[in-house]
Each structure stands twice: as structure tokens, then as C-alpha cells.
Chains A and B, each alone.
Chain A
Amino acid sequence: MKQSAIEFFTSHFNVTLSEIGRLLGIALSKGGDYADLYFEYRINNSVMLEETLVKSASKSISQGVGVRVNAGEKTGYAYTDEISFESIKRAALTAAYIAQSGQDQVTPINVTAISNKHNFYDVAEPLSEVSASKKIGLVKEVDSIARNFDKRIREVQAMFFDEYKIVMIATSEGVLVGDIQPLSRFGVSCIADEDGNLQMGRAGGGGRQGMELFQTELTPKKLAEEAARQAIVNLEAVEAPAGTMEVVLGPGWPGILLHEAVGHGLEADFNRKKTSAFADLLGQRVASELCTVVDDGTLPGKRGTLNIDDEGNPTTSTVLIEKGILKGFINDKLNARLLGVPYTGNGRRESYHHIPMPRMTNTFMLAGTETTEDIIRSVKRGIYAVQFGGGQVDITNGKFVFSASEAYLIEDGKVTAPVRGATLIGNGPDALTKVTAVGNDMQLDHGIGTCGKDGQSVPVGVGLPTIKISEMTVGGTKR
């Protein structure tokens, strides 16, 4: 049998369970309520191609331990790059200082190793064992396929990234858990050039799966052709309209709407502190009854999926909005404890340098019953947006944006000309109340999303069926 995460840390760095228990005791020696140790060992690999050349291959190793101490609403945090008893002890003493009530007493915690209930990583051929030359083969294939797609494709960039992360979390509740978390991302972008009119197309995907993902579902051919197709389509793009109009969003990645419009606003820290536009709306209508929105960290192989979150709790599936009614928040341990509700396995952090926070995993809307054709046919004048770049939200006033990178006009029920990129803006607590049709074609995105909050980036997934929003402001230039 392969080595478990706990075996890896205890054998590789000679840290025993009793030492871990003692370190937790030191972390609580000034009187904290709760402490945890987050051990991390991570290898990132990447290969990058541009201008037809594989310009670089990279590998990065980082390892360390973060110590957190909670005392009421307060958090003390310290980390070390050196995984040794003495270094972790120094970090534990630093983190301990947040609590000032104690009498300097060290009571070691009795720590028991617990194995994970689930394995949601869907790996046949682990990327950590695939040679760099095989990954280089993937980016080279993208280059030649994209250039052959159309002679107007002038530049192709491809980046293959994979991560192998081993974590171990020990808590002052006496729990010791570990996890080995694979992750990959294959990104492609193409530039088309027609007499100096430059346009870009992008495609990508990945997840917590192995090499097989890129040989079946997300082949170099599929990604190259998708990025090249978008760039070519955009050569014909006309000015995007400006003003309030009907908007149809395609399935999959346009689910970034949910991430920005409601997801962040439902993170428990913002609601406990009442800084979110959604604070006090629990049990109230925040969407049309066609909308049920879920955050689910348990979907096999997906980018936002985890066996355990970064506080050592099993991930779950949480209904945020059910038939339009606000049902729940995205919780981590600290906020769940302070709010007196169960935690949902959404405590995440970028690395051992960072304090965990409530974060989304895979956030999506359940399918409805309508067909895409019927939804488009029902629109007199609007836009049909199928690909997006990033988005952002102001959680306090609820205003959010997301920017379309491939979109079309809808005129009298028909999809007509492609339009240039435009930002869509709305108000989180009422944007989903204007959802008047939900398609039967729910899709998760291909695995490209990275969410930023308070300076920390974590991988996430989104999903959406085709939906119609009766009015939304589209930020084009044509009146």
C-alpha cells in the first residue's frame, strides 16, 4: 500500500504523534479556545509553450507548518518553513500570544489519527508520476493543431500545470487527519490576426484527476480548437450593446455568475460580521423559484473538490438557495462555532502561510426543464453570453460584475452577430430573482477557476444550466 499523508509527515520529518500533541498544548498555553497545526508539502510542475517553443519547464517545492490559535473571535497565526519540533514550537509560542488569559500551562493534547471517509480524487494515471516530456508533448500538440485550425491564428500559448500536495492537520480536539491532493490545469490561448485586427480566444481545464483526463475529455485537440475557434469568431465581433436588456447565459463556466452574485455574499465570515448584503436574509427570497444553488466539495475529480477541507473536516454538499429561498451559509470552523451552527467543510487556505477562511468549493445551479432553443427563442432583444473572463463582487452593497469574452446578439429570438467583450453588472440579492428560465443542460465548468479573497487564491469550480435573466445591465459601447 502507498504511504498515507500522516505516514509521510511522521516518517519524513520525524514528528511523532506525542510531539504533535505537545505542540498543540503549547499553542493553547496562553489560554486559547482552539488550536490547529497545518502541515503542507507541495510540488508544482509546469511546462510553458509560446512562439512554438517550449520555453521553460519548472518545478517548485514548498513545505512548512502553520499554527493557528483561536481565542473568542481572535486568531493568532505563525508559520515556519522548517518541519521540526523546535521550529514549530517557536511558531506555536508566537501564535499563542493572541490569548492573554492563561497561566502559561502546557497540557498536551491526546491526538488520534483518523482516516478519511471518502476518496473524491478520480486518478488513474497520477500526473506526479508522468514524465515532463509527456506533458511537453501535450503543449506541442496544442500548438500545431491550433495553427492548422486557421491560417489567421498567429500565436499560440499553452501551459500545463500540475500540483501534488500532501497535507496533515492536527487539532486541539485531538483529531489528526491527512490528505494527498492532486490538481492539474491545462490552459491554451490563441491570437488571431486579420490585417492587424488582433483577437484572442481561450480554453482550458483540469481537476483532481490524472493524465487520463487529457487523453479523453480535455484532449489537446479539443482545447486547441476551442481557443482557436473563439479567436476567429471574435474577428467578426461588432460593438456590444449598452443598457439594460435580457441576458441568456450558456451552460458551464458562466456559472461564475453564482460565484459572484451570491457565493461570496453567503460566506459565513461576512454574515457573522454583518458586512454582507445577504446578512439577515436567511429564510427569505433571494432568487426566483426556478433557482436552487448548491456548493458541493464532494464531486469526484472536480477542481473545487476536496476529501477534507484545510481545517481537516470532511467536505459536504450545502444547499445555499432552495427554490429561491436562502437556506444556508458557507462555513468554516471559527464562524460556525461563533454562530452556533454546524460547519460545512468550507474552511480553506492558500498555503501554510495563510489563515483559513470560509471559501466556496464547486458552486452550481440545479438543472431546470427548458431547452436552450426555447430560451433563446423567447428573447426579443438581448445578448447570449457563452464564455467569460473573471468577475468580482462588493459584498457590502452586493454589486457584482463578470465579463463576457464570447457573446452574441439575440434579435427576435435568433442568435445573430458576435459582440466584443463586455462586462455585465448586477445586484447580488436581486439578480437571481430575475431568472425567468432555467435550462435542462446543467454543466460544470472544465476546471479553470481560481478564486481570490483577502489575498488568498484557491481553486474552485462553478456550474450552470442555460438561464435567462429578464434584465441586466450590459456594459457595451453601442446605445
Chain B
Amino acid sequence: MKNTKDFAESIVSAAMRKGATAAEVMIVEGSEFSVGVRLGQIEKLKDSASQHLGLRVLWEGRQAALSTSDFSKDAIDKLVQEAVELAQLTSVDDQLCLPDPTDFAKDWPDLALYDPELDSLSPDKKIELGLAVEAAARNADSRIVNFDGGGFDSASRGLIMANSLGFVGSYETTACSLSIVPIASENGKMQQDYWYDNKRKFSELESADSIGKKAAERALRKLGGRKVKTQRVPVIFDQRVASSLLGDLFQAVSGDAIIKKSSFLVGKLEEKIASDLLTIIDDGQMVGRLGSRPFDSDGLPTQKTIVIEKGRLNSYLLNTYTARKLGMKSTANATRGLSGPPSVTCNNFFIAAGKNSPKEIISSVKNGFFVTDLLGFGVNIVTGDYSRGASGIWIENGELTYPVEEVTIAGNLKEMLKQIEMVGNDLDFRDRISAPTLKIEQMTVSGE
């Protein structure tokens, strides 16, 4: 890393000298490389590095958060001065303070978040992979005629954090992703879909060949999509869309929503809110995973939290501030945009794998909808109302039949959680939020 812990600590000290009650500095530096491909050629190539610094100060129960990409001495001096002045204008909040120093992360295990091989991978190799993933999709079928993007991206990132209660820590991460968006065409109609993989370690990335073929297969099976009649039927969320549902549930269990009474799960702790089959875990300590980190943005060691255990809501996800507000203990889920106060994020957030293969789940449905894509943002976390555009494949007598498009699926998360009838055994980790195939007993499919 270019910047040092000493530099971070010197800014904390400067803020304290200006009269801050407490101060916290976070420095993020990183580089990104991306190659976008199109029809066998490089379309876009980007290669750059940048850095940003955030300072949060507390002043007698009030706070301000400032950030800058200008690291010159003058700019930092001005930032410190302005931070202390700005904090004085906000409200006194009794629950606002840094964590108890005895809770800070001290020693942490190597979570294998940084891959030297990826960091030293040549641009030529990255370009070659980008071209290979497209070629694999194109060669999969003659109806794959065009592309709406795809390529290889990699990034490395270093983070340093220091606060006025003596916490100082840093870690480095790498990440890479390979993706492709093929367009299948038949009878003048086009359909696109995508497949991808994201990993911290280059050697764990799914092969270009496999990603290209899966993406092509997904686009091809959408050709000839049609509407269906409006009806209530069992709905299966494939792996990718089940992760999106889990993302909605994260919002609902986040301390940020709970303290503002903005979640349908307010007041439901220790209640049975979901089917026995549903167990949801947040774990920041898994080796090599995208959602892992040694400490959160409050400086607390990350942990494993069972959020929902066999249908019972065990815990919300909390940072220091929201935990204090609720009279609970932080689950080390603090995050920070550099120019804002800490909010809540998930680490590796996943639904524990169930027993059934996706094939078994599909064969359990006589007449129903296998959803492979969702469109839009029609989820209301306050009420649980759920209504989204969907496409996928209709199921008849346990078999996938014809593609379906231009329909919506609707229900309410409160009921949907209780109606989870089957959980797939196909959990894998290609994002911070990961879920296996899920079957929901009944939802309204709206079409003709």
C-alpha cells in the first residue's frame, strides 16, 4: 500500500488537537483493470488507480463525516478543521460513540483475501480470458449472434483504519470477475442473458468455457417466450434470483431499517417468521470469500451470526450504533461510505443449503413457474409487499416446458418466508450474497 498507518493516525491526532471528542480515519486505495470485449475484439480497456480518505469526528455527542481524494497537506488540514466545525452543527445523539476498546479486533487470522497471482497477472492474459469467454458463448450455438457486454475485470484494494481509542488496522484484497452477456436471435426476436463468476483468487475463477456456455444456454432457452394466464401457482426461484430475494431480506434484518421502524421484521425477534427449512447465516470470517474481512468499519472483529435458524428470527445485523439504539450487541456489520456515518452491511450472507437438487425441486411441481430473471425494484421492505417483473420457464408435470416472459410475480414477504417448501442443495459462493434454489408454495403470477 502507498499510504501508511502512521499517516492515518496523524490525521486522527490532528482532529483531536482541534477539539474532537473522538475521531476515526479510513483510507481506501485501489486499482482497477477492466477489458470489455465485443465480437472477437477489445472494445474497452481501462486501467487506473485511485485513493480516497474519510474522516469522521465526534464532538460532544454530535458527528460529521468528510472525505477527500486530495491528499495534500493543505487539503487534509482544511478537512480536519471543517470536520470539527461541521460536527458542532448537528444534533446531540446519546447513543453515538466509538466502540468499547476491549471489543476492538486485535489479532486476526489470514483470511486469504489477497491473491498475489491475480495482482501480477499480465494484461495480455486478462484480455485473452475476456475474448475466450465470448468465443465460448458464440461457439455454443449458431443462434448466438450478438453480445451486450462481457469481459474480464480485476481490482485490488487496500484499507487502513485508525481511531482515537487506539484501534489501527489494515488489510488488502483482490477480486476478479469474468462475465458475458450473449444475445440469442430467432425469427426476428432477440433474448439476452448472462453468466459470470466473481472470486478473490484467480485460480478459483470458473473457466471461460464454462461461463460462456452457461450464458449461451440461458439466453437460448428464453427464445420464444410468451405470457401466461394470471393464476396462483408454486414458484421456484433459481439460484441467481434466490440471491436477489435474499438481498431483500438483508434490508429487512439490517439494524438501519429496524431503528427507523422501516422493516416488516420490526419487533419479530425470537419469533418464528419462516419455514423450518430456512436458515440464514452472515459470516465475515470465511477464508477467501468476497464478503470476508478481518474487522468491520467500527474496528470490531467480524463473526458468524445465525440470523434465521430453522425459521426463527435469531438476530438482526447490527453495527455499534444500531446495536446501542436497540440495547443489543453489535454483530460487526458496520460499513462506511467514506463521507457518511457507519451504516450496516452484510458480510458473506447466505441461505444454508438444503437437501434437494434443483431437478428434484422442479419435478415436485405439477403446474408452476421456474423464475430465472427478475426485473425492477418492486419490493417494499416496510410492508413486505413483493411485486416484480419476471421471466423464466413454465413447469408442467414436473418438467420444464416453454419460456415465459412479460409477467409479474407477487406476494408478501411475510407469507413467502413461511411458504418456503423446498431449499436446494446447490449453494455456491459467487457473490457476497448467495442462495440455493428455493421453492415457494404459492404466488400470484400476473399475465394475460
A residues with CB within 8 A of B: 44, 46-64, 73-81, 91, 94, 97-98, 132-133, 136, 154-155, 157, 191, 193, 196, 198-200, 234, 240, 242-244, 270, 273-275, 277, 353, 355, 389-397, 399-403, 405, 420-423, 425-427, 454, 473-479
Q: Does B399 contact A (CB under 8 A)?
A: no
When C-beta atoms are compared, the residue in chain B nearest to A72 turns out to be B41
Q: A64-B69, A136-B89 are in contact. Are A422 and B44 (CB under 8 A)?
A: no
Give bound CA distance, A59 to B78, whole Å: 12
Q: When the two chains form their complex, are residues A275 and B192 in contact, meaning their CB atoms are under 8 A apart?
A: yes
Q: Does B187 contact A (CB under 8 A)?
A: no
When C-beta atoms are compared, the residue in chain A nearest to B93 turns out to be A53
Q: When the two chains form their complex, are residues B183 and A392 in contact, meaning their CB atoms are under 8 A apart?
A: no
Q: When the two chains form their complex, are residues B89 and A57 in contact, meaning their CB atoms are under 8 A apart?
A: yes
- Of B67, B232, B376, B409, the residue contacting A392 (CB under 8 A) is B376
- For the A-B complex with A60-B68, A200-B383, A401-B408 known, give 9 more contacts whose Cβ atoms are closer than 8 Å: A56-B64, A58-B64, A59-B339, A60-B66, A155-B260, A391-B377, A396-B183, A423-B388, A423-B389
**Total contacts A to B, CB within 8 angstroms?**
269
Q: Which residues of chain B are within 8 angstroms of A73 by Cβ–Cβ distance?
A: 38, 41, 43
Q: A55-B93, A75-B45 are in contact. Are A421 and B380 (CB under 8 A)?
A: yes
When C-beta atoms are compared, the residue in chain B nearest to A393 turns out to be B375
Q: Does B191 contact A (CB under 8 A)?
A: yes
- Of B65, B225, B227, B407, the residue contacting A58 (CB under 8 A) is B65
Give bound CA distance, A479 to B230, whole Å: 7
Q: Does B411 contact A (CB under 8 A)?
A: yes
Q: When the two chains form their complex, are residues A403 and B446 in contact, meaning their CB atoms are under 8 A apart?
A: no
Q: When the two chains form their complex, are residues B190 and A390 in contact, meaning their CB atoms are under 8 A apart?
A: no
Q: When the two chains form their complex, are residues B382 and A200 in contact, meaning their CB atoms are under 8 A apart?
A: yes
Give bound CA distance, A61 to B444, whole Å: 47
Q: How far is the CB of A164 from chain B (nearest CB, A)?
A: 14
When C-beta atoms are compared, the residue in chain B nearest to A43 turns out to be B68
- Can you report 20 residue pairs joining A to B where beta carbons are below 8 Å apart? A49-B91, A53-B92, A56-B63, A60-B66, A60-B67, A60-B338, A61-B79, A73-B41, A73-B43, A74-B41, A81-B50, A196-B267, A240-B387, A242-B230, A243-B230, A401-B389, A425-B407, A473-B447, A476-B410, A479-B230
- Of A81, A132, A200, the residue contacting B86 (CB under 8 A) is A132
Q: Which residues of chain A are within 8 angstroms of B405 by Cβ–Cβ distance?
A: 397, 399
Give bound CA distance, A474 to B389, whole Å: 10
Q: Does B340 contact A (CB under 8 A)?
A: yes
- Of B42, B222, B260, B373, the residue contacting A157 (CB under 8 A) is B260
Q: Which residues of chain B are within 8 angstroms of A61 by Cβ–Cβ distance?
A: 67-70, 75, 79
Q: Which residues of chain A are within 8 angstroms of B189 by Cβ–Cβ distance?
A: 397
B residues with CB within 8 A of A: 38, 41-52, 63-70, 75, 79, 82, 86-87, 89-93, 96, 146-149, 183, 189-192, 222, 225, 227, 230-232, 259-262, 264, 266-267, 338-341, 373, 375-378, 380, 382-383, 385, 387-389, 391, 405-412, 444, 446-448
When C-beta atoms are compared, the residue in chain A nearest to B231 turns out to be A479
Q: When the two chains form their complex, are residues A58 and B66 in contact, meaning their CB atoms are under 8 A apart?
A: yes
Give bound CA distance, A6 to B191, whole Å: 46
Q: When the two chains form their complex, are residues B90 and A273 in contact, meaning their CB atoms are under 8 A apart?
A: no
Q: A61-B68, A390-B376 are in contact. Are A191 and B261 (CB under 8 A)?
A: yes
Q: When the two chains form their complex, are residues B48 and A353 in contact, meaning their CB atoms are under 8 A apart?
A: yes
Give bound CA distance, A133 to B92, whole Å: 15
When C-beta atoms are compared, the residue in chain A nearest to B405 turns out to be A399
Q: Which residues of chain B are within 8 angstroms of A275 by Cβ–Cβ distance?
A: 146-148, 183, 190, 192
Q: How far is the CB of A98 from chain B (nearest CB, A)?
A: 5
Q: When the two chains form their complex, are residues A74 and B382 in contact, meaning their CB atoms are under 8 A apart?
A: no
Q: When the two chains form their complex, are residues B448 and A243 in contact, meaning their CB atoms are under 8 A apart?
A: yes
Q: Which residues of chain B are within 8 angstroms of A94 by Cβ–Cβ distance?
A: 47-48
Q: When the two chains form their complex, are residues A425 and B410 in contact, meaning their CB atoms are under 8 A apart?
A: no
Q: A51-B259, A58-B340 are in contact. Are A401 and B378 (CB under 8 A)?
A: yes
Q: When the two chains form their complex, are residues A81 and B408 in contact, meaning their CB atoms are under 8 A apart?
A: no
Q: When the two chains form their complex, are residues A389 and B378 in contact, meaning their CB atoms are under 8 A apart?
A: yes
- Of B41, B86, B227, B389, the residue contacting A475 (CB under 8 A) is B389
Q: How far is the CB of B93 from chain A (nearest CB, A)?
A: 5
Give bound CA distance, A227 to B409, whole Å: 27
Q: A136-B89, A155-B262 are in contact. Are A97 and B45 (CB under 8 A)?
A: yes
- For A57, A136, A405, which residue has the most chain B Cβ atoms within 10 angstroms? A57
Q: When the two chains form their complex, are residues B339 and A244 in contact, meaning their CB atoms are under 8 A apart?
A: no
Q: A53-B93, A399-B389 are in contact. Are A477 and B410 (CB under 8 A)?
A: yes
Give 3 nearest A-B pairs by CB, closest first.
A475-B408, A60-B339, A401-B376
When C-beta atoms are compared, the residue in chain B nearest to A244 turns out to be B448
Q: Which residues of chain B are within 8 angstroms of A132 by Cβ–Cβ distance?
A: 86, 89
Q: How far is the CB of B205 from chain A (nearest CB, A)?
A: 20
Q: When the two chains form their complex, are residues A476 and B376 in contact, meaning their CB atoms are under 8 A apart?
A: no
Q: When the two chains form their complex, are residues A476 and B446 in contact, meaning their CB atoms are under 8 A apart?
A: yes
Q: When the two chains form their complex, are residues B375 and A399 in contact, meaning their CB atoms are under 8 A apart?
A: yes
Q: How far is the CB of B137 from chain A (nearest CB, A)?
A: 14
Give bound CA distance, A474 to B65, whole Å: 43
Give bound CA distance, A425 to B91, whole Å: 44
When C-beta atoms are compared, the residue in chain A nearest to B46 turns out to be A77
Give bound CA distance, A98 to B43, whole Å: 9
Q: Which residues of chain A are within 8 angstroms of B91 by Cβ–Cβ distance?
A: 49, 52-55
Q: How far is the CB of A166 from chain B (nearest CB, A)?
A: 14
